[in-house]
Amino acid sequence: MTEIKKRVALVTGGSRGIGRAIAVALARQGAFVIVNYSSSPEAAQETLNMVREQGGDGELLKFPVQDSQAVENAFDGIKSRHGQLDILVNNAGISRDGLLLRMKDEEWLQTLAVNLNGSFFCARAASRLMLKARWGRIINISSVVGEMGNAGQVPYVSSKAGLIGMTKAMAKELASRNVTVNAITPGFIETDMTAALDDKLREEHMKAIPLGRYGQADEVAQLVAFLTSDNAAYITGQVIGINGGMYM
């Protein structure tokens, strides 16, 4: 058990899937969890209910991560209510898939706005509180495709690869104040999105995974929980894959 009691954590895109699992895992270990969402209050409330079922506590916080001013306002609110923010998990993300030749400007811009700009805006705001406190953990949820590429996903891959570079640069800037920054690159994880894939596509994906199965959201969440704990205090600037061996 890697307890993180008395820590305040923000999980962006926390209403479902990997974000929900992360929120629950952090709550299980004692953090007060702020669940960010942008469009589904019902799903976000379900996450918060699960947090409380684990004996934890938290709150909901709606704001679009791609809106710089909305992010600043949200973090000002966190500071006024809690006086601190110790853990940031940049999990919010979208994907606009399609062939490069047919990709529209807005699909490219939307993807980078949420996945890359949003993570930057949140990390910038969080770092002010963490540097002052001389303690902090920032976890950026990238993707295995940000490391290996994937046809039909140029905007998504570009944004996730950008997160990896951003992680390394931020880690070097913030390390002197005991703030660590790491990236996690999940492979195929069982979520609502992957559940919607047809059987033939799922079978094709499975062939590329040496362990022969999809990962579970809680497996990603447990890695996040470890990286946010004191047990991971000497780990920063790292890109950690959790992909069943599909990329080594």
Q: Which residues are catalytic?
A: 156
Helix (H) or strand (E) holding 242, with range, is strand 239-242
Q: N- to C-terminal Cα distance for the chain? A: 28
Tokens matching residue 89: 């998990």
Query: What's the burial of 75, exposed, middle or buried (CB within 10 Å: 0-12/13-18/19+)?
Result: buried
Q: Which of 173, 165, 158 is nearest to 140 (CA)?
A: 165
Spacing of C-alpha 75 from chain mean position: 17
List alpha helices for the chain, DSSP H: 17-28, 41-53, 68-82, 105-112, 118-133, 145-148, 154-174, 192-195, 199-207, 217-227
* Residue carrying the six token digits 């962006």: 12
Name, in order, each residue with C-beta under 8 angstroms of 107's C-beta and a sequence gap of 6 or more. 96, 98, 155
Q: What is the DSSP string of 180-235?
A: EEEEEEE-SEESHHHHTS-HHHHHHHHHT-TT-S-EEHHHHHHHHHHHTSGGGTT-
